[in-house]
Amino acid sequence: MIALKISFGSQSDAGARTREILMTVLHTLKKKTSDVTIAFKCALDKLAEQPAIEPYDAIFSLDSS
């Protein structure tokens, strides 16, 4: 039970690490854009359309295309 509390509900170390990374990305996007939801969706769309693109570039690219 304590492990679930400190890992924010993740049941494994890998799940906790994934949540940690996602939260870092979302908080960084929040500082860079006014609408995190749209920015994150655009990044996921880019990754779906261009699987070879680096995730960092898809998420934090300055252009909105």
pLDDT over 50 (residue 57) = yes
pLDDT over 70 (residue 18) = yes
Percent of the chain at pLDDT exceeding 90 = 54
Distances (CA, A) of 50 to 3, 5, 27, 65: 37, 37, 24, 12
Q: Quick: pLDDT tens for 28-54.
A: 999 999 999 999 999 999 999 999 999
What are the residue ranges spanned by the domains of the chain? 25-65
Write the single-letter amino acid at 7: S
